[in-house]
Amino acid sequence: MQKKGTILVALSILSTLNLSAFDIKKKVGDVDTKLKIYGFSQLEMRGGDGIITDKQDSDVVFSAQRIRLGVNYTADKVFGKLFLDFNKEHNDKSGIGLPEMIKDGFVGYHYDDALYGKIGVMKMPHGMGFTLPGWNLDVVERGFDKKLAMERGMGVMISGRGIGGEGNKVNGFEMGHERPWHGFGYDVMVANQAGRSASVINAKKGNDNAYATRVMYDNGELLHTELSYAVSKQAGGILSQEVKGEALTHKTEDYKSINFGIDSHFGKGNAKFEYFDGQNIKGVDGWDESSFAITGTYYVTDSTEIAFKHIQGSAEKGGVETDLGNSYIGVNYYLAPFDNKMSRSAKRKRNAHRLQLNYVVASGDTDRWNGLGGYRDDVWLTQYQYKF
């Protein structure tokens, strides 16, 4: 009941606000401060044999994927962020150290563009598609390859952007690449175990750590490329048992993952490629999964965009190898576009009022897939998003 109540409250708040972020600026002594309040909701209808099972009577499922409110604060070189999802639980089931509803909660110091640090809960620098904001996706969802990412973690990170480039604006909040850059960038993070990752279970604050590092290069709209490596220690948790009255501790394997991605925007089109390779999923030795995703979009008119995304996964568990493919065929309708600009950065505003229609085709070993997630039969997805 608590979760349902907060969802209704968030919907009521968002539905009464103007759809543009609130910026409150104030000078305190000699320091310029700024408070930004923003949020978005994604309301959905889903159906098809990949979602509706024999145990359900409904023909269509109504849900909300994200209902979020956020606050960013800056005071000279100091900055901080609090981002809440009212569609998440008010506890710490994943074991990272903060409740699930807190998506981001950190403070930082922006020494200069090449060096700034943050501490708190934030996205770990691993997974090109994952580090893009959830309101800026080409199709309704990221897809099952996201389960190989480290997700968000509680820890400390140092970063740099626009190194060797010109014309960049860096404020410390950067995580994805929806804004075009010039030059090199990096992130290094140490955190508690990556319990919010689908590849890590039984995490507990203080049991062990996760590590991630990422390097990237950008050349404006035309090219973004990045490479990252991450590991979450003892990804199955530290398991204890008692044998003949003696307590024994069983340590599980480390989950390790490599990610590589390329994103290129040209005129009305955009193309992406992303690759994951994960080993020892959930701490199980030899449970491995790799995937690649190809995404393409093209603006047909000022308000209509076609989108296609194919994710191909390969998994091995217990010596059994399987494959699964999910192909998203979609149309994005921009219901009230602010302008007709087609650039990657302009899309951040165009996504404020958006309707997405996707049909997902499942292929491969749909009856015996042993990897993480994915649709094993065809589904259709519809989402309305509004953002301020």
Backbone angles phi, psi at 158, to 5 degrees: -115, 145
What is the average per-residue pLDDT within 276-291?
Answer: 97
Alpha carbons 355 and 383: distance in angstroms, whole number: 6
- What are residue 282's phi and psi, to 5 degrees? 55, 25
67 contacts 7 by C-beta, under 8 angstroms: yes
**What is the number of alpha carbons within 13 Å of residue 313 lying toward its C-beta?**
28
DSSP string of 99-139, one letter each residue: -TTEEEEEEEEEEETTEEEEEEEEE-S--TTTTS-GGG-SS
Q: State the CB neighbour count (10 A cutoff) for residue 22.
A: 13
pLDDT band at 14 (very low <50, low <70, confident <90, very high): very low
- Rounded mean pLDDT of 70-89? 96
Please, what is the Cα angle at 66 between 283 and 220, to 5 degrees?
A: 85
pLDDT band at 247; cut points 50, 70, 90: low
pLDDT in tens, 363-383: 999 999 999 999 999 999 999
Pick the CATH number of 2-387 from 3.40.50.300, 2.40.160.10, 3.30.230.70, 1.10.150.20: 2.40.160.10
Buried b (16+ CB within 10 A) or exposed e, 76-105: eeebbbbbbbbbbeeebebbbbbbbbbbbb
Mean pLDDT of 108-123: 97
Whole-number percent of the chain with pLDDT over 70: 92
Domain regions of the chain by residue span: 2-387
Residue 213 near residue 191, CB atoms below 8 Å: no
Task: Give residue 16's pLDDT.
Answer: 44
Instruction: Calculate mean pLDDT across residues 15-22.
Output: 54
Report, as an integer, the average pLDDT of 163-169: 88
Lowest mean pLDDT among 75-89, 149-163, 237-251, 372-386: 237-251
pLDDT in tens, 22-42: 888 888 888 999 999 999 999
pLDDT of residue 240: 62
Instruction: Return mean pLDDT, the chain.
Output: 91
Q: Does 12 have pLDDT greater than 60?
A: no
Q: Nearest-CA neighbor of 146 among 364, 306, 326? A: 326
> Distance between CA 22 and CA 42 in Å, rounded?
20
Would you state the pLDDT for residue 324? 98
Q: Does residue 18 register a pLDDT over 70?
A: no
Residue 326, strand partner residues: 311, 362
pLDDT at 243 over 70: no
pLDDT of residue 169: 86
